[in-house]
Amino acid sequence: MTSSRHTAQFTLRHLRALWRQPAYIMMTLAQPLIWLLLFSQLFSRVAQIPGFGSGSYLTYLVPGLVVMTALMSAGWSGMTFIEDIDRGVMDRLLVSPVWRGSLNIGLLVQGACITVVQSAVLVGIAVLMGARFGGGVAGLAAMVGVAMLLGGAFSALSNGFALVARQRESLIGMVTMLTLPLTFLSSVFMQPAFLPAWIRNVSRYNPVNWAAEAARATTQANPDWTSAGAHAVLLLAVLLGCMMLATLSFRTYQRSM
């Protein structure tokens, strides 16, 4: 009861902050839109290679881009913690009986809302460009859900890292060091069958790839709910693990005081 009241307050805090600066969502959209326009053109003929499967590269690409966008914007989640630390907000909260988990969950919910808006924009533009998705609204919703799980996990990781590193530069380094390699070591841009063997092997253990596979599975012509479900369960486990790590990071932060 107490923990849910605390969580509601932090969720409200971060949603209000988002509402007061909608430009933030637009900024995090710029990059994926460029990817969408650029890559769908650049690789449009990849889909014509025998064995690619999907009819259009654009349709293949969008679920992966939705996942990648969620990942990238979730990475910046820890910035809010660093700002809170710099401003004294974090210390004020930590000397109160606040449920530590609510500080994380509030930001995770904010991230989930950002993912909904970003996914809607990406899908909308892709449809205008001619992409066609199977699985209907349920398939698209499941795709967004999977992106949220991945984003949530990365957001928690970012928060935990922020508490330990406490510096913007370190967080920027961590995010850039992880997001692009994780994305390229997956099937976001390329059919698994066409990936070099070593990348295909690595991608099996890559949560970004799990999310991309699941997102494509629910939006392809013949949705594969079993595969999507299995991947979603794995992602949920990663999310819970990252949330626990983030909560433990509060102790590391306080121990350094």
Partner 1 sequence: MTSTSDRSAAIDVSDLVKRYGDKVIALDGVSLEVTAGSVFALLGPNGAGKSTAIRILTTLARPDSGTVSVGGLDAVAHPDAVRRIIGVVGQKHGSDPQATGRENLVLQGVIQGLHGAELHRRVDALLEQLGIGHAADRVVRTWSGGMSRRLDIAMAMVHRPEVLFLDEPTTGLDPEARAEVWSQVRRLTAERTVSILLTTHYMEEADEFSDEVAILDRGRIVATGSPDFLKRQLRGDALRLEFRSDVSADELKGALRRVEGLGDINVSGRWVRARVSDGAAIAPATLAALDGAGLAVASVTISRPSLADVYLRHTGNEFASTEPPQLIAAAI
Measured distance between the N- and C-terminal CA atoms of the chain, rounded to whole angstroms: 30
> For partner 1, which residue of 23, 128, 137, 255 counts as binding (CB under 8 A)?
255
CA pair distance 119, 123, nearest whole angstrom: 6
Residue environment code for 163-182, b if the CB has 16+ CB neighbours within 10 A, otherwise e? bebbeeeebeebbeebbeeb
Q: Does 254 bind partner 1 (CB under 8 A)?
A: yes
Q: Does 23 bind partner 1 (CB under 8 A)?
A: no
Among residues 140, 145, 114, 115, the alpha carbon closest in space to that of 127 is found at 140
Q: Does 37 bind partner 1 (CB under 8 A)?
A: no
- What binding mask, one character per residue, do residues 198-237 give for partner 1 by CB under 8 A, x or -? ----------------------------------------
220/247 with CB nearer partner 1: 247
Q: Does 2 bind partner 1 (CB under 8 A)?
A: yes
50/88 with CB nearer partner 1: 88
- What binding mask, one character per residue, do residues 73-102 give for partner 1 by CB under 8 A, x or -? -----------x-xxxx-xxxxxxxx----
Alpha helices in the chain (DSSP H): 2-20, 23-42, 57-75, 77-87, 89-94, 100-128, 136-165, 168-184, 197-203, 207-219, 225-255
Residue 70 CB neighbours (<10 A) = 33
Q: Does 257 bind partner 1 (CB under 8 A)?
A: yes
The site for partner 1 (CB under 8 A) is made up of 2, 5-6, 9-10, 12-13, 16-17, 20-21, 84, 86-89, 91-98, 254-255, 257
